[in-house]
Amino acid sequence: MNDYTSANSSLACITLFLTHTIMTSLFSTPLSAIVPKNQQLVTIPAESSVLDALKTLSSKNIYSAPVKDQKGAYSGFLDMADIVVSLVTLMEERSSHSFDQNSSFFDAVAKDKLETAKNIADLSKMNPMVPLREKDSLGEALKIFESTGTHRVPVLSGDSVADINGVLTQIDVISYLASNLSSLGDAGKKTLQEHNVKLNKVISVEIGARAFEAFQLMSKNRITGVAVLNHDGTLFSNLSMKDIKEVKPEELLVWMNKSALELIQMIRCKQIDVAVPVFSCHLHNTLEQVIAKLNVLRVHRLFITDDQNKPIGVLTLGDIFRLIHNSSA
What is the CATH classification number for the domain harbouring 226? 3.10.580.10
Specify whether 124 is located in the same domain as 44.
yes
The pLDDT tens digits for 132-150 are 999 999 999 999 998 888 9
Is 82 within a domain? yes
Which helix (H) or strand (E) segment holds residue 107: the answer is: helix 105-111
Specify whether 64 is located in the same domain as 152.
yes
Contacts 24+ apart (CB under 8 A), 271-278: 271/246, 273/297, 276/236, 276/237, 277/237, 277/238
Specify whether 174 is located in the same domain as 45.
yes
pTM for this entry: 0.84
Between CA 141 and CA 228 the distance in angstroms is: 31
Specify whether 55 is located in the same domain as 170.
yes
Between CA 312 and CA 121 the distance in angstroms is: 34
- β-pairing, 311-316 vs 301-305, is antiparallel
Mean pLDDT of the chain: 85
Pair 290, 270: CB distance under 8 Å: no
What average pLDDT does this structure show over 70-85?
A: 90
Q: Is the pLDDT of residue 12 over 80?
A: no
In the listed set 179, 214, 235, which residue is the last one of a domain according to the structure? 179
Specify whether 158 is located in the same domain as 196.
no
Measure the CA angle with vertex 158, ends 155 and 160; round to 5°.
85
Is 7 within a domain? no
Specify whether 175 is located in the same domain as 200.
no
- β-pairing, 280-281 vs 301-305, is parallel
Specify whether 100 is located in the same domain as 203.
no
> Looking at the 3D structure of the chain, how many domains does it have?
2
Residue 2: pLDDT band (50, 70, 90) is low
Specify whether 171 is located in the same domain as 211.
no
Domain that holds residue 63: 32-179
In the listed set 179, 208, 233, which residue is the last one of a domain according to the structure? 179
Specify whether 209 is located in the same domain as 157.
no
In the listed set 133, 149, 179, which residue is the last one of a domain according to the structure? 179
Specify whether 213 is located in the same domain as 127.
no
More confident residue, 145 or 99: 145
Specify whether 160 is located in the same domain as 212.
no
Specify whether 219 is located in the same domain as 296.
yes
